[in-house]
Amino acid sequence: MPSDLWSFASCCYARPGVEAACLRLQAAGADVCLLLCGLWLEQGGVPCNDERLAALRALSEPWQRQVVQPLRELRQSWRTTAAADEVQQRLRAQVKALELEAERELLARLEAEVIGWPHAGQPGMADWLEALAGSAGECRDALQVLRAATTQA
């Protein structure tokens, strides 16, 4: 798996079943960028603790609320009308690209936050995913799809 968070997230997201699992987790209230960061931290053997969880959430929540979520809501609200309007379809694609760029920026900020965190454990030993899933933790099968994606060659 790649060493930087964006490449790791992109590689993971491209694996079979991961996109659907992420969309399911997102619909259940999870911050997928946080989950992918947590999975990256798990694979790096970075121990999970309350202070680190709070730092990641404090960084992610405002960006999600103020930047990513409004773009996502706009894009999704145009789904039906854009199907019949070529110009709106093009604009919707641009909003989608902007949403992806906002997520990329969030992942870069998360990576910068964790750079100095020690890698004390063995890969896969920390429970970052469960700790970051929040109410979406009930989607255990979707979380397992994410974990399994990191073990694929």
Q: What is the pLDDT of residues 55-109, one digit of tens each?
A: 999 999 999 999 999 999 999 999 999 999 999 999 999 999 999 999 999 999 9
Model confidence pLDDT, tens digit, residues 17-45: 999 999 999 999 999 999 999 999 998 88
Give, for 147, the enclosing helix (H) or strand (E). helix 140-149
Rounded Cα–Cα distance for residues 35 and 32 (Å): 5
- Looking at mean pLDDT, say which of 3-7, 95-99, 112-116, 148-152 comes out highest: 95-99
Q: Which of 51, 36, 57 is nearest to 118 (CA)?
A: 51
Give residue 153's pLDDT band: very low, low, confident or very high (50, 70, 90): very low
Model confidence pLDDT, tens digit, residues 119-139: 877 776 668 999 999 888 889
Is the pLDDT at 152 greater than 70? The verdict is no
Rounded Cα–Cα distance for residues 71 and 49 (Å): 31
Give residue 2's pLDDT band: very low, low, confident or very high (50, 70, 90): low
Predicted TM-score (pTM) of this structure: 0.91
